[in-house]
Structure 1
Amino acid sequence: MPPPAAPAGPRDLRALPKAHLHLHFTGSMRHTTLLELAERDGIRLPDQLVADWPPQLSAADEKGWFRFQRLYDVARSVLRTEDDVRRLVREAAEDDVLDGGRWLEIQVDPSGYAARFGGITAFTDLVLDAVAEAERSTGLGIALVVAANRTRHPLDARTLARLAAQYAGRGVVGFGLSNDERRGSTADFERAFAIAERAGLLLTPHGGELRGPEHVRVCLDALHADRLGHGVRSAEDPALLERIVTAGVALEVCPVSNVALGVYSDLTSVPLPTLLEAGATVALGADDPLLFGSRLAGQYATMRAAHDLPDTTLAELARMSFRASRAPSDVVAAGMAGIDAWLAGPPRD
């Protein structure tokens, strides 16, 4: 009598259609590309970006965040030419497609590149042209979220909000606020977000990662957030989480970076089950693969392993990523159909 067949393995997460809503521009760069561009121009990279990659990071204090930001700034410095920018966008798109991505909203602060590329408008034009090329070559739909830096003056954020508003409907779908959320006063950026809101842009500030529920409330009250970059610590306050669910505010949860930055001690501590049980809309994102070493499908894989998530839950996470996106209706419909087909198909042997 033949032995019983081994149980079928889980479905391939790279084949699961997804929308990717939390990816930073320089942070999307391939490690191999970073090394190649640095060698080309004789840029000496710190060991954490070479032999010790991916770097051991923690943002438990401001010194830790400073070290993280320094690595990001060094990585950004290797982008010297227009072709470098086009390559970064193309490779980010290729990597997302390999991971099942059907739609990408990539976040960029044009002021961080303006000095080298002719100003914020010229750089935005360059990125949007690179996006159009990447869309044609990969088939991935891509849009931009223009993000202000909260460590700079709120007037700079207003300038970027006006820039984003000018491109609303022409490749820019949202406006964000990034960098160390413990720095500055979030309410000071209210006027910048009002400009973006009047333009019909999605409002997606970072909040609820390095700071807790009290900061999430500021993002909701002062900035009128439609989505929260991270927002994972909303799980600490049931009343706040209920408010988020009722308002339909989506959370861009990035599990691997949460652990790498010391927000949680390990992946099993990332409170994804709490968020889902409360009815929150969650879109998993990779944040900065260059610094955290894990791309889009890896976020799904780590949560599957850490919380023993069934494929039905993983499929619903993918559906929520499309629902929370600004993707065109045909892209959303195709993504939903693809998710249904993935779930209806057989598990891997």
Structure 2
Amino acid sequence: MRDLHTLPKAHLHLHFTGSMRHSTLLKLAERDGIVLPDQLAEDWPPTLSAADEKGWFRFQRLYDVARSVLRTEADVRRLVLEAAEDDVRDGGRWLEIQVDPSGYGARFGGVTAFTDLVLDAVREASAATGLGMAVVIAANRTRHPLDARTLARLAVQYAGRGVVGFGLSNDERRGRTGDFAPAFRIAERGGLLLAPHGGELRGPEHIRLCLDDLGAQRLGHGVRAAEDPALLERIVAAGVALEVCPVSNVALGVYSDLTSVPLPTLLDAGATVALGADDPLLFGSRLAGQYATMRAAHELSDAQLAELARMSVRASRAPDDVQAAILGDIDVWLAAPPGPGQPAKMGP
């Protein structure tokens, strides 16, 4: 078996605060005298569940506490740089980090000023690490749909200057998905990738809403499309990629264990799947860990893992020359002999 940390890959589902290193969270909290809940300190990573709204509330509360330690521009730059370093360590060659500026604007001079800061931090981190990076701006479905329109206009202003997509995040059981359609039309007219969350906490019926009402071109999660063969066939035919995050699916109670994550069903149907870490700060697993867990849970061959990496690249908004370079390096990884004492597994 080849080292998955050296498998070149793209990372398409990583949330901003959720990308923070646990050690950085502890240091920043200590600096400012912030008392962290036990679940973010001694008992980390936390035991989570989102089976009901109370469970999601507890998850969101931990996320909000983590976000509160970001107090200065230097903190933001540190988070972005460390996220890039961690992805490079995991074989990442391209990262699309997702952020909702409305959650940070009050502390950083407004949503525009914060977006400027994040994009500048992304440029710095990319130059320092060699990792290709871009930003997906996401609206929060627990806020008013008019706020989403404001963020969509903001995202369009930065199209071609580091922002490549527009999303919709938070508990997909909250709000009415169709109410956010005008925001997605703004983003679509601006040439942005449309990538709402759907198909994790809600099932196939919500994926259909994301496709029909929002025009989703990539789905944050989308894993529960496996429950509906006709829907899955539609997704494959339309070329909609699924950003599957196995460790978070299990942590939030969507599936009981990693063997229950229906990755083989999705792949057998021909779906494009990009594995993502979602929120490593809360789930304790980064990018290479997603590949490792799926290798172990479903006995994936190196050839299958390489194809997953290829799909992540093809589903990205990386420039064509960047994609070509990464795809070539994936071929090199697969052509190399496996590690000493580990037999090759090159099956289908």
- TM-score scaled to structure 2, two decimals? 0.98
Match of 1:64 among 41, 55, 72: 55
Paired position in structure 2 for 1:104: 95
Aligned with 2:195: secondary structure? strand
> How many positions carry a matched residue from both structures?
340
Match of 2:268 among 277, 284, 308: 277
Quote the offset at 1:329 in angstroms.
1.0
Paired position in structure 2 for 1:143: 134
Quote the offset at 1:43 in angstroms.
0.2
Paired position in structure 2 for 1:3: none
What is the alpha-carbon distance in structure 1 between the residues aligned to residue 30 and residue 42 of structure 2? 14
Aligned with 2:46: secondary structure? coil
State whether structure 2 residue 20 is matched by structure 1 residue 29: yes
Paired position in structure 1 for 2:289: 298
Paired position in structure 2 for 1:39: 30
Structure 2 unmatched ranges of 5 or more? 341-348
Aligned with 1:147: secondary structure? strand
Match of 1:193 among 178, 184, 204: 184
Aligned with 1:184: secondary structure? coil
Quote the offset at 1:150 in angstroms.
0.1
Match of 2:64 among 73, 78, 82: 73
The aligned amino acid for 2:264 is P
What is the alpha-carbon distance in structure 1 between the residues aligned to residue 46 and residue 299 of structure 2? 27
What's the CA shift string for 1:138-185, capped at 9, x where partnerless?
Answer: 000100000000000000000000000000000000000000000010
Paired position in structure 2 for 1:213: 204
Aligned with 1:252: secondary structure? strand
What is the alpha-carbon distance in structure 2 between the residues aligned to residue 136 and residue 198 of structure 1? 30
What is the alpha-carbon distance in structure 2 between the residues aligned to residue 77 and residue 216 of structure 1? 32
Structure 1 unmatched ranges of 5 or more? 1-9
Paired position in structure 2 for 1:6: none
Aligned with 2:202: secondary structure? coil
The aligned amino acid for 1:130 is A
Aligned with 1:114: secondary structure? coil
Q: Deviating runs (4+, > 6 A) in structure 1? A: none
Match of 2:228 among 237, 241, 256: 237
Paired position in structure 2 for 1:266: 257
What is the alpha-carbon distance in structure 2 between the residues aligned to residue 334 and residue 96 of structure 1? 17
State whether structure 2 residue 146 is matched by structure 1 residue 155: yes
What is the alpha-carbon distance in structure 2 between the residues aligned to residue 22 and residue 130 of structure 1? 18
What is the alpha-carbon distance in structure 1 between the residues aligned to residue 20 and residue 109 of structure 2? 22
State whether structure 2 residue 322 is matched by structure 1 residue 323: no
Quote the offset at 1:137 in angstroms.
0.4
What's the CA shift string for 1:235-260, capped at 9, x where partnerless?
Answer: 00000000000000000000000000
Aligned with 1:142: secondary structure? strand
Paired position in structure 1 for 2:343: none
Aligned with 1:117: secondary structure? coil
The aligned amino acid for 1:176 is G
State whether structure 2 residue 70 is matched by structure 1 residue 53: no
What is the alpha-carbon distance in structure 2 between the residues aligned to residue 342 and residue 152 of structure 1? 44
The aligned amino acid for 2:330 is I
Paired position in structure 2 for 1:4: none
Quote the offset at 1:330 in angstroms.
1.4
Match of 1:313 among 268, 292, 304: 304
Aligned with 1:173: secondary structure? strand
Quote the offset at 1:108 in angstroms.
0.1
What is the alpha-carbon distance in structure 2 between the residues aligned to residue 52 and residue 216 of structure 1? 34
| RMSD over equivalenced CA pairs, Å | 0.3
Match of 1:178 among 169, 183, 202: 169
Quote the offset at 1:331 in angstroms.
1.1
What is the alpha-carbon distance in structure 2 between the residues aligned to residue 262 and residue 136 of structure 1? 38
What is the alpha-carbon distance in structure 2 between the residues aligned to residue 309 and residue 94 of structure 1? 27
Percent identity over the alignment is 85
Match of 2:334 among 335, 339, 343: 343
Paired position in structure 1 for 2:9: 18
What is the alpha-carbon distance in structure 2 between the residues aligned to residue 168 and residue 62 of structure 1? 35
